Amino acid sequence: MSAVTETIQELLAIVGQEADYRNASLTLLENGNSRYVRDLKLNFTSTLTSAHLSEKECALLALSIAVNNNNTILTNFFEKQALAKEASAEDVAEAAGCASLLALNNVFYRFRHFTGKEKYTQIPARVRMQLMSSPVTGKEFFELMSIAVSAVNGCEMCVNAHENSILALGASEERIFDAVRIASIVTSAGKVIY
């Protein structure tokens, strides 16, 4: 067995998949004996730790990104991780709800930003966002999930607004950085584990 195949199997075991599971992306990496597989595994395992976020927060952030990216394997994995780190069912639901709400906001506010027309900022949005008003995970952490999803979805206006909110709530830039780092790693892993 090649080192690449062994690393793929180790990565699959981490996320609860059978050793022989393959999809088109994993097959390409395996057939090409890609050195990247080792980096992918090391990056992925690093999503579970942070000097600035608790393990529970890391898992919930990763869950929100997996839901945002519509990745069933990673959603199931990070849900289990979050629950194992003492997240409640309500915390888990909020991570999923945040992904959905921010997808809505990211499309809407990107549109407003891209057009740059004052008229569109004057028309009421007519969308409900009650989840943001009193989140069960706390305002600061909900904003961290929000900035992570917004970064993945490419909404500059949303990223800036959430960063300002997070800093105003007293959080450090290191917490913001780690939230976005986790989002990028989960997104990366989801390109080959799906």
Q: Which residues are catalytic?
A: 155, 158
* Contact predicate 64/145, CB 8 Å: yes
* Tokens representing residue 70 in the block: 């519509």
* Contact predicate 8/37, CB 8 Å: yes
* Contact predicate 71/102, CB 8 Å: no
Rounded to whole angstroms, the Cα distance separating 132 from 135 reads: 6
> Could you tell me the CA-to-CA distances from 162 to 77, 129, 168, 176 in Å, in that order?
27, 15, 10, 10
H helices of 36-138, where?
Answer: 36-46, 55-68, 72-84, 89-115, 118-122, 130-133
Best CA proximity match to 74, nearest among 100, 38, 47: 47
